[in-house]
Structure 1
Amino acid sequence: MERFKIVRAFVLGPLLEAAIPKPGNVNRYRDFDDLTLYNFLFADTAVIGVYYEAIKTAELLRKGILGFNEAGIGELIKRAVQASREAQDANPNFGVITLSVPLIMGMVLGRNMLDAREKARLLLEESTVRDSMEFYRAIRIANPKGIPSGVKYDVYSDDSFRELFQDGINLARLAEMSCERELIFCEWLNGYELSYGTFGRLYELIKELPLEDAVVRAFLELLAEREDTLIARKAGREEAERVREKAREALEGRLSLDEFDAFMREKGDLRNPGSLADVMAVSLSLLVLRGLRMEIRNGKVWGVIGRL
């Protein structure tokens, strides 16, 4: 698979996710006080160079010049997060970077898009304690909301680096311990099951609906089916469950999209879905990689896969 095709897909996907007017998220019509669409534009394009480096590293892995335990996933994630932070002043894409870097490398190592899932999982299993330490440094740079303190391997405690080293905690083990608190780690462990499932759903929906409508529909389904772990960390499990209930009402037509969006925003960004938005961004990247292009029909943008 061509280098620039992969990079383009994993940059365009998050940009589409940010622009499309999904309930509760920043989009081309709505911002938050401390996070705007411009943060996403600057952040998502700032990582291009690091994504390209990830591809070149994966090519060395494929040739056997490097071993899987030398992939440096943690450092690549940290460098991408640093590039994002240098380009703007918020945290719009830490989760997307965390999901994307192993999968980008998997795309180079795998025979196809499906095989990339397994290769990404193997890279994480073969990661080292140093990868976990660099990943912790990336978290400190991004400073995402809702990170717990006073726990084992506390991200913001300097003792955590010694604990990670003593216990031999690589990225796969870190994901096992953190999956319940953060959906992204579950994706690492289960071979991006939700991301690929959402990609498949989008593939079907764009045949029937304009692109924005298809993405909003798929996102509503995600919100109705899965607890957004960012909302749970910020506002508690009860609030996260309320979001699921309201999403089901919107899907069933008992709540309009405008009403659901108003509910999602009535407490500022407390109900802003983050983890599921990250999954949607990666799913859209997969759709782009599969050949997504756009056409305008009667003033609406449609997503099309296939030759002109």
Structure 2
Amino acid sequence: MKDPGRSRAERAQLAMMLEVTAFPKPGNVDRCHDYHDTRLEHFLASVLAARPALDDAEAGRTGIGEAIRQAVILTNSHSGGNTHFGAYILLFPLIMGGGISGALRRIEETTVDDAVAFYEAFSLTEVRVLESDGLDVKDPESIRRIREEGMTLRDVMAYSAPRDMVCREWIDGYPLTRRFADRLHEEGGGPGVISRLFITLMAEEPDTFIAKKFGEAAALEAMAMAQDVLAGRRSIQEMDEECIRRGINPGSLADIAIAGIYLALTEGWQWD
């Protein structure tokens, strides 16, 4: 489909919509199955509700931390819980910076106030964190430590990067986002392309959301299952059913896929 000159905010919404409706994406909500507490319509409602925060970011009316906080508040109006927190972390620098190089400049310019706003946003979600993370989003002491040590939002992401692949994208320069976007350009549009590339990414990278929820072994097992799918040793439907049954959902890779779709859209990729 030819892009009719969409704004960055519109492309971000389209990226979130294309990712969640892609099928199949083993373990994640898609257009053919839900989780009991989070359904497809919760994701789509969040895509719509986030628009004012996306517009403000594009217009330069807010910092990255406040943009994330605003988006979380706007999308907390339903019972489906957090749907796009990790995606917001990746999308807002890209929206504000116009691409990866600009995003990295904006990340370098983040402030202590950005970090505080981010922690306030984080405390409003039910995002899983490791007990050993140290900076507990539920503990006011963490905010005091951030202010006393002068930690910017980039510093906070660097602190979490060894344990969180979304944070690691900020620090390493969006390599997985770039990889996903490049593959979209190579593959073109058409039915099933996002699902196929998502499975490929799963086969290459252990998802840190799974690791936080079930342990590193489970993340490696999910990666091995995706490798089996690519090698023809297991069907994607079998993998999907097993992941859903066990509650294994590669949420961090989904966030990176959203950022990759957004980047590809800004570079002229057309979906059909």
Aligned equivalents of 2:48, 2:183: Cα separation in 1: 26
Q: Deviations over 1:222-247 (max 9, x none)?
A: 11110100000000000101001111
Count of matched residue pairs: 268
Per-residue deviation at 1:94?
0.6
Q: Deviations over 1:86-125 (max 9, x none)?
A: 2554111111111111110011xxxxxxxx2122112112
Who is 2:242 aligned against?
Answer: 263
In the superposition, relative to structure 1, how do residues 243 and 96 fare at CA in structure 2: closer, same or farther (>3 Å)? Answer: same
State how far apart, in whole Å, the 2-side matches of 1:122 and 1:288 are. 21
Per-residue CA deviation, residues 204-224 of structure 1 (Å, 9 max, x unaligned), is 1226xx332x11221111111
Deviations 1:178-198 (A, max 9, x none): 012211111111221111111
| Distance in 1 of aligned mates of 2:75 and 2:257 | 19
What is the alpha-carbon distance in structure 2 between the residues aligned to residue 150 and residue 196 of structure 1?
Answer: 30
Q: Are the equivalent residues in 2 in contact too, given 1:149–1:156 (CA < 8 A)?
A: no
Q: Give the aligned partner of residue 230 of structure 1.
A: 209
CA displacement, residues 53-84 of structure 1 (integer Å, 9 cap, x when unaligned): 111117xxxxxxxxxxxx62111110011101
Distance 1:155 1:86 in 2: 21
**Cα RMSD over matched residues?**
1.8
Distance in 1 separating the partners of 2:84 and 2:134: 25
In structure 1, runs of 5+ residues without a counterpart are 59-70, 108-115, 295-302, 304-308
Match of 1:125 among 87, 99, 108: 108
Q: One-letter code of the match for 2:37? A: D
**1-structure distance, mates of 2:133, 2:228:** 36
The aligned runs of 1:171-186 (5 Å cut-off) are 171-186=153-168
Structure 1's 49 and 3: CA in aligned 2 closer, same or farther, altered over 3 A? Answer: farther
TM-score (norm 1): 0.83
The share of aligned pairs that are identical, in percent, is 32
- Scaled by the length of structure 2, the TM-score of the pair is 0.93
| Pairs within 5 Å for 1:152-171 | 152-171=134-153
> Structure 2: which 5+ runs fail to align?
none
2:29 aligned with 1:26, yes or no? yes
| Aligned-residue offset at 1:275 | 0.4
Query: CA contact under 8 A between 2:184 and 2:269: conserved in structure 1?
Result: no
Cα 1:3/1:131, change in 2 over 3 Å: farther
Map of 1:47 onto structure 2: 50
Q: Distance in 2 between matches of 1:191 and 1:47?
A: 25
Larger radius of gyration: 1
Conservation of the 8 A alpha-carbon contact between 2:11 and 2:262: yes
